[in-house]
Chain A
């Protein structure tokens, strides 16, 4: 037992990627187990390690944690990325939940039918540019601080930088019109732990491709 958190998921972004981001941002090394076959997944279920028969699974501090949000909240709390009091935590939760709604659209995108992909992409672009990015642009403009909440690096910042980069992969130039977010993107990308995570060879996973979609279907199909 190495003591490091151990992540069990497919070898790809999916629902585990925000966990990889947050651990990396917190400077925490972790191990990964990749699900490649249906049999592996069925064995996990049979062994009783998946509370609701689902991954992500993160083994950390003697717990077998499932439910992405629960995992992220625990990591944020443990590594002081969750604000200094209940109200800051509330702001972080609000921001993270909003961003998470946007990320959900990106999560589902690879699984959309070919004739629905263009509409899906338009929705992502519309929501990013008209609903989510304007909010964070305004938050940063109003307090003029480097970080979203409490003048301190938090889970909300990690989630936002992840989302900005993910949307940019789909909609290049999406940040034109958001000068605060452009500056913010540069600042966050240059934070040492994040900078390291953005370099080749890190645990960061590439955008999902056809092989990833195939693996998901294979492992989880009924």
Chain B
């Protein structure tokens, strides 16, 4: 037992990527076990380590945690990335809720048909530029501080950077018109732990491809069609 958190998921982004980001940003080393076969998944199920029969699952501090949001909240709390009081935590939760919704539109993207992918790409960009980015642009403009909440680096900053980069992968110039977010992106990317995570060889996963989709479908026996928003 190494004492490091251990992540159980597919070898790809999916719902685990935000957890990788947050652990990395907190400077916490972690191990990963990648699900590649149905048998591995069934073994985990039979072993009783998946509370609701689902991954992500993270073994840490003697717990087998499931539910992405619960895992992220625990990590944020443990590593002081959750604000200084209840009200700052509320702001962080609100902001993370928004970026979570935005990244949710991207989560299903690899599973869509080629035609639906184009529709969804347009949908993602439209929501990013008309709903989410304007909200964060205004927050940063109004307080003029480097970080979203309480003039301190928090989970909200990590999550927003992750979301920005993901949307940029769908449309590279999506931040034009958002000068505050451009500066934010540069600042947060240069934080040492984040910078390290953005370098090749880190545990950051690449944009999901067909192999990832195939593995997920095979392991979870998830063969139904997924529709665009």
Binding site for B on A (CB under 8 A): 51-53, 61, 63, 65-70, 73-74, 77-78, 86-87, 89-90, 93-94, 96-98, 101, 131-132, 135
Contacts and interface: CB of A to CB of B under 8 A. Distances in A.
Contacts of B96: 70
B110 interface: no
Contacts of B93: 67, 69-70, 73-74
Contacts, number: 80
Contacts of B43: none
A74 B135 contact: no
B70 A94 contact: yes
Interface in B40-74: 51-53, 61, 63, 65-70, 73-74
B226 interface: no
Most chain A C-beta atoms within 10 Å of own C-beta, residue among B52, B63, B87, B132: B52
B109 to A, nearest CB: 20
A77 B70 contact: no
A27 to B, nearest CB: 18
A69 B97 contact: yes
7 contacts: A68-B97, A89-B74, A94-B65, A94-B70, A98-B51, A131-B52, A131-B53
B87 A61 contact: yes
A179 B219 CA distance: 34
Given A70-B90, A96-B70, A132-B52, 19 more contacts: A51-B94, A51-B135, A52-B132, A63-B91, A68-B97, A69-B69, A74-B90, A74-B93, A77-B86, A86-B77, A89-B73, A89-B74, A93-B67, A93-B69, A93-B70, A94-B51, A97-B68, A97-B69, A135-B52
Given A61-B87, A87-B61, A90-B65, A52 B98 contact: yes
Contact of B135 (A52, A94, A98): A52
Contacts of B132: 52
Contacts of B170: none
Given A52-B101, A77-B89, A89-B77, A66 B94 contact: yes
Contacts of B65: 90, 94
Contacts of A98: 51-52, 66-67
A74 to B, nearest CB: 4
B221 interface: no
Given A51-B135, A86-B78, A74 B52 contact: no
A78 B52 contact: no
Contacts of A61: 87
B131 interface: yes
Given A73-B89, A73-B90, A51 B98 contact: yes
A87 B63 contact: yes
Contacts of B53: 131
A65 B86 CA distance: 13
A62 B54 CA distance: 38
Contacts of A101: 52
Nearest to A72: B93
A196 B77 CA distance: 34
A150 B18 CA distance: 29
B61 A67 contact: no
A77 B73 CA distance: 13
A170 B112 CA distance: 32
Contacts of A131: 52-53
A78 B86 contact: yes
B77 A94 contact: no
A151 to B, nearest CB: 18
Nearest to B77: A86
B77 A63 contact: no
Contacts of A52: 97-98, 101, 131-132, 135
Q: What are the 10 closest A-B residue pairs judged by CB atoms, nearest first?
A: A67-B97, A70-B93, A93-B70, A97-B67, A74-B90, A70-B94, A94-B70, A90-B74, A98-B52, A67-B94
Contacts of A132: 52
A90 B77 CA distance: 10
Contact of B86 (A69, A74, A87, A94): A74
Given A93-B70, A98-B51, A70 B97 contact: yes
Contacts of B78: 86
